Amino acid sequence: MTRPYVASRSEETLHRRSFDVLVLGGGIAGLTAAIGAARRWRVGLLTKSTFEETTTFLAQGGIAAAIGEGDSPELHLQDTLSAGAGLCDEEAVRVLVSEGPDRVRELMEICPRFDTVDGQIVLGREGAHSLPRIVHAGGDATGSEVSSALAEAARLGSRVQLYEDEFVIDLLTVDGRCVGALTLNLADGGLTLNVAMVTVLATGGAGQVYGRTTNPPVATGDGVAMAYRAGAAIRDLEFVQFHPTGLAVPGQQTVQLVTEALRGEGAYLRNAAGERFMTEYDARGELASRDIVVRGMVTEMRREGSEHVYLDATHLEAAWLYERFPSVTAGLHEHGLDLAGDLIPVAPVCHYFVGGVVTDVWGRTTVPGLYASGEVASTGVHGANRLASNSLLEGLVFSDRVVRDLDRYIGRLGEDVRRLSFDIPEADAGGESSDAAAARARLCDIMQHQVGVLRRAGELQEALDELGSLTSELRFGAMGEDEYEVLNMLTLGTQIAKCALLREESRGVHLRDDFPEGDERWRKHLTLRLPEHERTEG
């Protein structure tokens, strides 16, 4: 699990491509980095599936930016720091909130379909924002509008070479420096060495590690796992954000999100008795930060022995609701539910990985030549709890910074990576093989039930033991996407459980039943790095 490469092929059997800049990931962070870098460099962008199969594409709420009257970067900073529960990196947050408005205005030139009334941009409200500051497009279709516009810009207006269905197996390193990535083409099974002077990791999150998630099937934590194998520092893995309002229908792993913007527009949460309850937990009621709303919901659900609470928008005007929330309306219809007429069953569901690959404010990881941006990165802007709609903003702002830093970094490089050769271990031919699908199902079950919203030491320890046995029992003969994914997911799951067990307090999205309060001694990050790389760090 922790050796430098999970791949095992001889170099002669591989195709080879070379770029100045290799971007891994087709969401907002990857597309922004690729379009920006292509103004000066030869860029290749690889995405695991298609540009529609990303977490960005599914985003509903929108993008937070201090562009409205009465708003300011300082107010946005205060809201972000306060949600982050003492673990935000203030310098990174200042970058986010002060550069954010310009990046959003630039995005509006590429994606002109942001919602306006009488020529004025409409700002939505979400939990823990002190005033409305969320720009949105197509009502609740912000992600698909933004993704489509950026993918179109990358295809038509720039010199980015785009490759879909490319699964990244491993980052390539030479003498501790990242020089590209080894990929598996999911259509024809071909393996390619993609060599590059710089690699930008923008592979998104890992929601599929849990039994119920809003994330698309591609979100299996590949980026964090491969960066860890390549020697990068990763941190804050215990901070897994559960979104309060995933649609609670049984039997589905990928769950429909019911956007927080609905609560921003006045929808209520009700318990099984039909009572509003959030004001008992926080004066902001349904618009408290996500961790507080989740804690309130779970307390009600436990008390009532229920699997969910309800979101109630029935007091809002039907025609307006359908127009403002077309994606949620359509998604609910598929389950026979009417947003304007029914109480919608909702429960917390895995939504976002706050932690990830450690970067500085220029997106630089601890591995030279490797940058990270978006959900895969830990820039420090989210602390222990991400403020709603700050994630698309983070991708925009930090990918722009990566592009600016590339010019400095590449300018200093002397050698030509195209001539490098790579030491990738030979394959073990054939042999007995475990069932990857069964291992994955077991992993998701452990994470969902023992490393979920409310955690306890005993369950976390059991989870760690079970994940350890699962890992040591796995034997893969031939390796394909399913096998690589399950190895990555096991790396993530194990490190999440380990960090969750270590952090003996409740902070932000990390809620411990046996340590229900915060503890000042734990106002620190848990950072992980393979031992051999810690030694060379000096």
Q: How big is the site for ligand SIN, counted in residues (CB under 6 A)?
A: 8
What mask of x and - would describe binding to ligand SIN in positions 6 to 45, judged by CB under 6 A?
----------------------------------------
Smallest separation, CB 244 to ligand SIN (Å)? 8
Q: Between residue 304 and residue 363, which ones bind ligand SIN under the rule CB under 6 A? A: none
The tokens for 231 are 């020697």
Of 377 and 388, nearer to ligand SIN (C-beta) is 388
CB of 84 to ligand SIN, least distance (A): 14
Instruction: Figure out which of the listed residues 198, 388, 460, 511 binds ligand SIN, where binding follows CB under 6 A.
Output: 388
- Nearest residue to ligand SIN, scored by beta-carbon proximity: 61
Of 236, 178, 168, 246, the residue nearest 211 (C-alpha): 246
Q: Residue 420 contacts by C-beta under 8 Å, 6 or more apart in sequence?
A: 174, 179, 195
For ligand SIN, the closer of residues 192 and 391 by Cβ is 391
CA distance 121 to 144: 18
Between 256 and 365, whose beta carbon lies closer to ligand SIN? 256
Provide, rounded to whole angstroms, the least separation between the CB of residue 97 and ligand SIN.
15
Of 152-181, binders to ligand SIN (CB under 6 A) are none
Q: Which of 289, 391, 450, 494 binds ligand SIN (CB under 6 A)?
A: 391
Q: Which stretch binds ligand SIN (CB under 6 A): 95-103, 161-169, 253-261, 373-381?
A: 253-261
- Draw the binding track, 39-78, toward ligand SIN (x: CB under 6 A; -: no contact): ---------------------xx-----------------
Q: Which is nearer to ligand SIN, 61 or 508 (CB)?
A: 61
For the CB of residue 204, give the shortest distance to ligand SIN in the complex, in Å: 13
Question: What is the C-alpha separation between 227 and 230, in angstroms, rounded?
Answer: 5
Active site residue 290: yes
DSSP E strands, 444-509: 454-455
User: With contact defined as beta carbons under 8 Å apart, do 113 and 138 qualify?
Assistant: yes
CB 228 within 8 A of CB 491: yes
Residue of 181, 225, 261, 337 that binds ligand SIN (CB under 6 A): 261
CA of 469: how far to CAs of 4, 439, 529, in Å?
Answer: 21, 11, 22
CA distance 339 to 329: 6
With CB under 6 A as the contact rule, which of the stretches 102-110, 173-181, 256-264, 412-420 interacts with ligand SIN? 256-264
CB of 189 to ligand SIN, least distance (A): 35
Q: How far is CA 135 from CA 125, 212, 277, 305, 347, in A?
A: 9, 28, 29, 38, 26
Q: Which helix (H) or strand (E) holds 21?
A: strand 15-24
State in angstroms the smallest separation of the CB of 136 from ligand SIN. 9
In the complex with ligand SIN, the residue whose CB is nearer, 392 or 443, is 392
Q: Which residues sit opposite 184 in a β-bridge?
A: 167, 191
Could you tell me the smallest distance in angstroms from the CB atom of residue 389 to ligand SIN?
4
Residue among 366 and 389 whose Cβ is closer to ligand SIN? 389
Of 46, 65, 103, nearest to 400 (Cα)? 103
Stretch touching ligand SIN by CB under 6 A, among 35-43, 305-313, 372-380, 386-394 = 386-394
CB of 259 to ligand SIN, least distance (A): 3
Residue from the set 238, 260, 291, 483 that interacts with ligand SIN by CB under 6 A: 260
Nearest-angstrom CA–CA distance, 356 and 365: 10
Minimal distance in Å, beta carbon 300 to ligand SIN?
20
Nearer to ligand SIN, 61 or 296 (CB): 61
Residue 348 host element (H or E): strand 343-353
Q: Residues near 153 by Cβ (< 8 Å), separated by ≥ 6?
A: 31, 35, 110
- For the chain, report the end-to-end CA distance as a whole number of angstroms: 24
Least Å from the CB of residue 292 to ligand SIN: 15
Is residue 52 packed enough to be buried (19+ CB in 10 Å), middle (13-18) or exposed (0-12)?
A: middle
Q: Give Cα 421 distance to the centre of its chain.
A: 33
Task: Give residues with Cβ within 8 angstroms of 488, minimum separation 6.
Answer: 220, 221, 222, 224, 225, 226
Tokens of 164: 């879909």
**Residue nearer to ligand SIN on the CB measure, 231 or 264:** 264
Q: Which of 259, 366, 448, 494 binds ligand SIN (CB under 6 A)?
A: 259
Is the separation of the CB atoms in 357 and 495 below 8 Å? no
| Closer residue to ligand SIN in complex, CB, 372/388 | 388
Q: Please count the CA atoms within 13 angstroms of the CA of 267 that sit on its side-chain side.
A: 29
> Percentage helix, strand, coil, to 5, in the chain?
40, 20, 40
From candidates 148, 389, 488, 491, binder to ligand SIN by CB under 6 A: 389
Nearer Cβ to ligand SIN (160/393) = 393
Q: Please choose, out of 152-160, 182-190, 387-395, 414-422, the segment that lies near ligand SIN by the rule CB under 6 A.
A: 387-395
Catalytic residue among 103, 177, 212, 290: 290
Catalytic site positions: 290
Residues engaged in binding ligand SIN (CB under 6 A) = 60-61, 259-261, 388-389, 391
